[in-house]
Amino acid sequence: MGDVQLQHGNDRATWLDGSAVPCSLGSGHPTRVWRLVLLGAPGVGKGTQAEMLCTRLMACHLSTGDIFRAAKNACGCEPTAAMKSALEYMRRGDLVPDATVLDIVRERVGCLRCGGGFLLDGFPRTVAQADTLAGILLKEKIALDAVIDYRLPIDEIVSRLSGRRTCSACKAVFHVTGRPPRKSGVCDHCGGMLVQREDDRPEAVRVRMEAYERSTAPLTAFYKRLGVLVPVNADGSPEQVFERTLVALKA
Ligand code: AMP
């Protein structure tokens, strides 16, 4: 188990900073390789499910939001002009322009090729991004196993977002009532400080929900047409949603 976590740590480094850090996967590959996309409005619990699914299915958690947050927190080096502009969109809760996101994903195409599989979280977010991803996967002869669409009523989403807290060090996700840490304000996994994400502030949440409705909701029709959409009810505890997801995937 510790071995698996170590491999995931290295893979995340490759994804997060886009550097040429070699992927350490090689031994201990899962017998069944999963290539998944997670869809769902902000606050629906995608990040939590992604963590649980990655551990169970031994696939890497590839979140574009985490790339931007890592760039924002990177100390000692000045972000590029494109990254600075992307971070400004993110601060407002708006979507980063497709061209920037797609450049960032193309730089990391090796993570999609990875023999250990992947779980894309927060990408694609627009039909243009989904089109480009489809082109990349076709070229690489990679097929998606499923696109999981987490569904939840809007008032439940708002309550989840306002209570969400994220570890400033390892990015683990908690909720003040739904998934509280053992010690208030402190991460169970690494002891890091739990903080409210800038884009979980109420004004940014409103912008994010509008961006979701306008740009991301049409992706469900896109993937339904391709026959890979798997709807999952995201109501209940993280463990209940996780079990529901495994059943839906027949994993
Ligand atoms: P997330 O953690 O997935 O909610 O992403 C946080 C923020 O990063 C979003 O509100 C956007 O500003 C930006 N972002 C992440 N992924 C994308 C994407 N695929 N397209 C556009 N913006 C993105």
104-114 mean pLDDT: 90
Residue 10 has pLDDT above 60, yes or no: no
Question: Please, are residues 171 and 122 in contact by the beta-carbon 8 Å criterion?
Answer: no
Domain residue limits, the chain = 13-152+213-250, 154-200
Q: Which residues are catalytically annotated?
A: 46, 125, 164, 197, 208
Question: For the segment 114-148, what is each residue's pLDDT rounded down to a tens digit?
Answer: 888 999 999 999 999 999 999 999 999 999 999 99
Model confidence pLDDT, tens digit, residues 230-242:
999 999 888 999 9
Give dist(CA 3, CA 27) in Å, integer: 10
pLDDT at 83 > cutoff 50? yes
Q: Across the chain, what does the average pLDDT equal?
A: 86
Atom of ligand 1 lying closest to residue 211 CA: 10
- Strands of the sheet containing 35-39, edge to edge, are 60-63, 118-121, 35-39, 146-151, 229-233
Which tens digit of pLDDT belongs to each residue from 150-202?
Answer: 999 887 887 788 888 999 998 888 989 888 999 999 999 999 999 998 888 87
**Cβ atoms within 10 A of the Cβ of 35, count?**
18
The helix/strand/coil state of 78 is coil
Q: 201: which residues sit within 8 A by CB, 6+ positions away? A: none
> What separation in Å is there between the alpha carbon of 1 and the centre of ligand 1?
30
Alpha-carbon radius of gyration of the chain: 17
CA nearest ligand 1 atom 2, residue = 65
The predicted structure's pLDDT at residue 76:
66
Q: Which residue lies with its CA nearest to atom 5 of ligand 1?
A: 65
112 pLDDT more than 50 = yes
Measured from the Cβ of residue 74, the count of other Cβ atoms closer than 10 Å reads 13
Q: Using alpha carbons, list the distances in angstroms from residue 110 to 28, 32, 85, 115, 117.
A: 19, 19, 25, 10, 11
* CA 249 to ligand 1 centroid distance, Å: 25
82 or 12: which carries more pLDDT confidence?
82
Burial class (CB in 10 A: 0-12, 13-18, 19+), 200: buried
Cβ(32)–Cβ(18) below 8 Å: no
Q: 27 CA to middle of ligand 1, Å? A: 32
pLDDT of 93 higher than 50 = yes
- For residue 241, the model assigns a pLDDT of 97
- Mean pLDDT over 215-220 rounds to 92
**Ligand 1 nearest-atom number relative to CA 68:** 8
pLDDT classification of 6: cutoffs 50, 70, 90: very low
The residue-averaged pLDDT of 81-101 equals 89
Reported as a single tens digit per residue, the pLDDT across 21-45 is 666 654 456 678 999 999 999 889 8
- Residue 199 CA: nearest ligand 1 atom is 10
Q: Is domain 13-152+213-250 classified as CATH 3.40.190.170?
A: no
d(CA 147, CA 149): 6
As a whole number of angstroms, the distance between CA 245 and CA 98 comes to: 29
| Nearest alpha carbon, ligand 1 atom 19 | 123
Buried b (16+ CB within 10 A) or exposed e, 211-238: bbeebbeebbebbeeeebbbebebeeeb
Tell me which residues have their CB closer than 6 angstroms to ligand 1. 42, 63-65, 68, 89-90, 93-96, 101, 122-123, 125, 129, 199, 208
Amino acid 75: pLDDT: 64
Q: How far is the CA of 203 from the centre of ligand 1 (A)?
A: 16
Q: What is the pLDDT of residue 23?
A: 64
